[in-house]
Structure 1
């Protein structure tokens, strides 16, 4: 044990900056939030009792859990076949489809919500089309109801489900399916008995992430739902602004957190992205408990043997046609899912060029008036510049401390690495409203409410988690022999890191920086709590305009935000492509 701590101490030291920021801004405030909910030092359950005694609170809590569960089930139902078809496609097509999913994932949540408002609104794209073709005479109620909220939640959360599933499915050995088919298993049987159990880690991780994130949804239900579709996060935010009783707000936040923690503890969260290869114990079902069930089953299988042989021979001649139709159906399904993810963004981009006084699709002409309105309005310009300043500061801070933490964790004992990783990733796995409330408490103690420094610290705890995840994945593929070779030539730890390790993990560092910037640039909930009335970022400006008036200028802003992920992906691709020759030279020069 002493030797373990001696070997791990330098590596753990690299995680201290990230852990210190997390502790001050989020960790200690979470403890204060817990104590406040119990009215410390009195330690009573009065706040929880008051929450339970209000039927309206219980109704909001139950419908929050219900809406999150339904959205998660829809994401699983749509996301699993989508991920399966993407993983089974060719490498070039797979890369393109994953790129589309990533673009949708990186696109601003506010921009996507605004796009759905334009599509589902009373004078939106769908209603206007149906009226123009004469199918309806008055607008259909497509917005401000539960269905619209589900559409918005699934459209936003579907990439969160698909990406972990693809990561797991790509790693499954395809020879296992071939072996099952060679032993007489039908395609569905081979899928059910072999492929599906191996893909369950992805289903589990994606479902937990989607459910927990849906619990903290704030913008989408408020923009697309009605009064009866209020979620607990909206209730908590309103409670914090209108009530001086912080204890009731703390109790509501911790009840929401308790639901998330119960789900995580029951289902588990595997962020490794690899299929589990550990054999699972076979559960005894009621059929196994019957003493003669196995004999009867074997006898029935023997009787059905000749019939199956005839069916197998008949299917051989129909395999080509069946496979052709299945490919067409699969391609159509994936195309519809990609259209569902990307079409709202394309609609906003096209409508932003409308020449009239209101947005129309398709535009009767082309005009840049709303872009001129955006760049010529001082309020929009100031909000954008504020977001850029905060985003750059958050990117620099979180990239430095996140990269150091990832490097330190990669050289730490596995069990300790798992614990510290989960601690650092806490802000991006908890409901966002809970993180916002805790961060608000922490920054109140530091006197940083209503300051840019406070917003930077609040954004950095989540951005650091993204940097740690991406850089750690890059470090996992790093050849450690290169570092050993540099140390054998009397290079110190710092020189080895700067001259060998950092150039090889540069794409991961840049990728983490991109995610950090986008996380900060699109943040609304925490910013609205921490920024007060003195700081107005671009997302806050957009949200205020969406709530009070549908200013067409928002379409120009949303279209720019939707093009931002494409620009960042191009930067990442160029960075990765340029890093390949350097990595290849380093591997070739490494001692064998």
Structure 2
């Protein structure tokens, strides 16, 4: 009890378990990996010089940057209007659209990549349709090229762009636009001069996050691209498989990490939240520019209240032919984006019920043969059970240490909180292949390569980061006066946490646990390195089958994995609903 009391007086100590796991599995091994790339203790740049001396290596590096830039730009072009239309929709419609965006975001990377193989393949949906219509006489080359890589990567990254944009747009004061319109600005001018500049922090954060994640793509380019579409992550993975030269592997890894680090240092992605800091714009270089706009707009808004009361009620929301046509265009655009995000999963689900010896859309007859094939195969069910065991262990471990860390961070000095939060979030903000190699080196020292414990620890460093983000967001809206009231009634720190804090933040904790489980259940890159070829999880077995043979059984597995995030959202909604009911006072 005395120890708990001391921890309550020193909340930063609650972050020690999460930081200890992070340092043991990733932090210290990453430092050793960097020293290895420098040939320590001799310290030379020979490994980096050798990398850049080969033209093929430089070509792969430039190709990685090019693909990441193109994918990011397309995500901005599609994601910005999508986010704008979602933010402008009614509350119920907005929630429905956000759910439709979140579902593919939570769906397995591997499943979404497999869906595009089924759609774009030589015997896939599009080629079968073109052949049936007589448009082509032989299958069109829609897969194993750069276009297929872009289609798959943009499909995976688009929700990552849309969600931050919607969050920023919903926080923009609509009175700014109203003030601009009341001063005679046309709708487009008001949008371009007021709304768009205020939404730039969302564009910056979303673009940076998409670009950094694209740098580390491995599964999608390897599955959908050709030999000339290799990314640097693919190049590093090939080095791991074909060579034991750790120094060269380390140099390649840190070149990839340097790309991500340069972008993060230049643009300063802030994932630590704003709790406890003065309110201000996310884009610090433009702080004075923000104030120069915000201050006049507030005064204009106050001066224009009387004028708007007479004029705007009649004209601002009046339905005209032009607004009706634009509304129709916006509706069609959102429908097409949602179709792009959801249709691949629908195709996989429908095709999984095919009765023939191969997959067809639509199926000529319905059958559960591929589901029977999955549940009747010890190899498949064994891999699934292994994934469930590891996922549950990861969820338990990361939820406990992540919740403690989030609770401690919420009560720490802002600057220290920001630094520690960014440190904890490092495993999900840098390329996955770099984390995997560092974790492999760390677990090798502990003799945990090829064990479930080693895989669970590797998954936990990323899962803990997600738990910290989700629980911290819940604690940001938590009224600390309730804790002070409980302590004033002589409740101990432990009693206060159990009776007051925990019930109110329980939805965030459950959400973090479910997200941690999904993160573990979807992991392929890290698992492939630390499993030591002795443990096969379900995603790893799926990836091996996709690379060597397209087994129709994968369609049944993929369809079940598509339904997993839907079940996750239902559980989260029920938890939130019950929490809301408990928080409402009883009628007198």
C-alpha distance in structure 2 between counterparts of 1:275 and 1:550, whole Å = 51
Alignment match, 2:39: 39
Work out the CA distance in 2 between the residues paired with 1:503 and 1:111.
35
Residue equivalent to 1:188: 188
What's the counterpart of residue 572 of structure 1?
A: 572
**How far has the Cα of 1:198 moved from its partner?**
1.1
Per-residue deviation, residues 250-282 of structure 1 (Å, max 9, x unmatched): 000000000101111112213338982887335
CA shift digits 1:84-126 (9 cap, x unpaired): 0000000000000000111010001111000000000011100
Corresponding residue number in structure 1 for 2:394? 394
CA deviation after TM superposition for structure 1 residue 532, in Å: 1.3
Alpha-carbon distance change, 75 to 317 in structure 1, aligned in 2, over 3 angstroms: closer
**What SS class does the counterpart of residue 288 from structure 2 fall into?**
coil
Tell me, yes or no, if structure 1 residue 145 matches structure 2 residue 153: no
State whether residues 144 and 224 of structure 1, in contact with CA within 8 Å, keep that contact through their aligned partners in structure 2: yes
Q: How does 1:46-445 map to 2 (within 5 A)?
A: 46-271=46-271, 272=273, 276=281, 280-282=287-289, 320-445=320-445
Question: Within 2, Cα distance between the matches of 1:165 and 1:201?
Answer: 8
Are 2:370 and 2:552, in contact at CA under 8 Å, matched by a contact in 1?
yes
Q: In structure 2, how many angstroms separate the alpha carbons of the residues matched to 1:427 and 1:513?
A: 17
The CA distance in 1 between the partners of 2:576 and 2:30, in whole Å, is 39
- Over the aligned positions, Cα root-mean-square deviation in angstroms equals 2.0
CA distance in 1, matches of 2:383, 2:316: 65
Deviations 1:440-485 (A, max 9, x none): 1111111111000000000000000000000000000011111111
Equivalent residue pairs, number? 553
* Structure 2 counterpart SS, 1:366: coil
The equivalent of 1:17 in structure 2 is 17
Task: Report how far residue 584 of structure 1 moved.
Answer: 2.7
**Compared with structure 1, are the counterparts of its residues 178 and 382 closer, same or farther at alpha carbon in structure 2 (3 Å cutoff)?**
same
Q: What does 1:465-476 align with in structure 2 at a 5 Å threshold?
A: 465-476=465-476
Residue 197 of structure 1: how far off its partner (Å):
1.3
The TM-score, its normalising length taken from structure 1, stands at 0.91
> Could you state the TM-score of these two structures normalised by the residue count of structure 2?
0.92
Unaligned runs of 5+ in 2: 1-5, 291-314
Is the 1:108–1:522 contact (alpha carbons within 8 Å) kept by the matching residues of 2? yes
| Aligned residue in 1 for 2:490 | 490
Deviation at 1:26, TM superposition (A): 0.6
Contact 2:25–2:439 (8 Å) recurs in 1: yes
Aligned mates of 2:186, 2:33 — CA distance in 1: 55
1:226-249 deviations in Å (ceiling 9; x for gaps): 000000001101101211210000
The separation in 1 between residues aligned to 2:80 and 2:135, in whole angstroms, is: 35
